């Protein structure tokens, strides 16, 4: 049953899955609370543009994704802050534009790299360098949340309350967007650019069905995400399906289970 652990690529994939499942809901709980879930989908599409740029120029694709998505995160927050366009309009602009640029750049590349693996995830493509990047990112996210827990929670619950409490709202917003960019970019190989948003959001929604506090929601969301990642990766290996779709499907099943459990208790 556990013969897949004899393969190095599966061990790397499992480690990456555990790290992603820790980072994604840790960040996602604040995005969901602020009704900014669409930000993850937007950044995932701009990250794909960074992948295309990295492949075209011979740069590390994930570092390219990281650079472009961080720039996009800052750009999105600045445009929204200035109030020239609505939040939805800005997200739609970057989302469609990012994917269009990604496809265009990949069409110019002569490198035999499967762009599909970045769209839907592929357990066979995770390298040791990817794990170091992902591990460092996860550590940054966890330490940031622990250090700035109350400013993040206050902003998530009420922007007016955060401002009255002396929270530097703009700085926290930009920081949150940059962390989202980090998480999305370095999750592309396992979950895929078109699906990572679901792993950030769905476990949090699942946890909200059974939790009673903000803190417990976070811990339960991580548990849901870890279960989805591990089971999804096992199914991906067993049935040879894209890892991203398997993980997200398990996450959706977890949500249905939590929802059904909540309805049964009413």
Q: In the chain, pLDDT over 70 holds for what percent of residues?
A: 96
Query: What gap in Å lies between CA 243 and CA 233, rounded to an integer?
Result: 6
The Cβ of residue 231 has, within 10 Å, a number of other Cβ atoms equal to 18
The label of the residue with tokens 């709202």 reads 169
Average pLDDT over residues 31-56: 88
Q: Please say if the pLDDT value at position 28 is more than 90.
A: yes
Q: Please say if the pLDDT value at position 146 is more than 80.
A: yes
Q: Please say if the pLDDT value at position 115 is more than 80.
A: no
Q: Please say if the pLDDT value at position 112 is more than 60.
A: no
Instruction: List, in order of start, the domains of the chain with CATH numbers.
Output: 3-194 (1.10.3470.10)
pLDDT band at 189 (very low <50, low <70, confident <90, very high): confident
| 0.85 exceeded by pTM | yes
The Cβ of residue 227 has, within 10 Å, a number of other Cβ atoms equal to 17
Query: What gap in Å lies between CA 242 and CA 246, rounded to an integer?
Result: 7
Nearest to 200 by CA among 13, 71, 31, 76: 31
Task: Report the pLDDT value the prediction gives residue 58, as an integer from 0 to 100.
Answer: 79
Spell out the residues 6+ positions from residue 175 whose beta carbon is closer than 8 angstroms to its own.
144, 148
Q: What is the pLDDT of residues 131-142, one digit of tens each?
A: 888 898 899 999
Query: What gap in Å lies between CA 45 and CA 65, rounded to an integer?
Result: 10
Q: Please say if the pLDDT value at position 2 is more than 70.
A: no
Task: Report the pLDDT value the prediction gives residue 144, as an integer from 0 to 100.
Answer: 92
Contact indicator for 138, 18 with CB cutoff of 8 Å? no
* Helices within 34-127 (DSSP H only): 38-57, 61-82, 87-108, 116-120
Lowest mean pLDDT among 36-40, 123-127, 149-153, 199-203: 123-127
Q: Please say if the pLDDT value at position 38 is more than 90.
A: no
């Amino acid at each position: 049953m556990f013969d897949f652990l004899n393969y190095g690529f599966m061990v790397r994939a499992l480690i990456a899955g555990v790290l992603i499942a820790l980072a994604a809901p840790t960040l996602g709980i604040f995005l969901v609370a602020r009704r900014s879930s669409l930000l993850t989908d937007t950044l995932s599409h701009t990250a794909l543009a960074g992948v295309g740029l990295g492949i075209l120029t011979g740069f590390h694709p994930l570092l390219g994704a990281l650079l472009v998505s961080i720039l996009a995160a800052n750009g999105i927050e600045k445009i929204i802050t200035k109030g020239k366009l609505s939040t939805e309009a800005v997200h739609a602009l970057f989302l469609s534009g990012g994917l269009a640029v990604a496809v265009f750049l990949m069409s110019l590349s002569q490198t035999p790299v499967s762009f599909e693996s970045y769209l839907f995830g592929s357990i066979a493509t995770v390298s040791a360098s990817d794990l170091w990047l992902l591990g460092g990112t996860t550590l940054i996210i966890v330490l940031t949340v622990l250090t700035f827990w109350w400013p993040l929670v206050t902003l998530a619950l009420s922007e007016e309350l955060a401002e009255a409490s002396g929270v530097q709202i703009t700085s926290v917003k930009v920081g949150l967007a940059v962390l989202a960019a980090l998480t999305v970019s370095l999750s592309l190989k396992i979950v895929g650019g078109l699906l990572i948003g679901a792993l950030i959001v769905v476990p949090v929604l699942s946890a909200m069905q059974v939790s009673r506090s903000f803190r417990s929601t976070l811990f339960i969301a991580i548990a849901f995400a870890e279960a989805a990642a591990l089971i999804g990766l096992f199914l991906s290996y067993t049935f040879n399906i894209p890892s991203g779709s398997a993980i997200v499907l398990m996450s959706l099943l977890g949500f249905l289970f939590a929802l059904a459990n909540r309805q049964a208790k009413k």
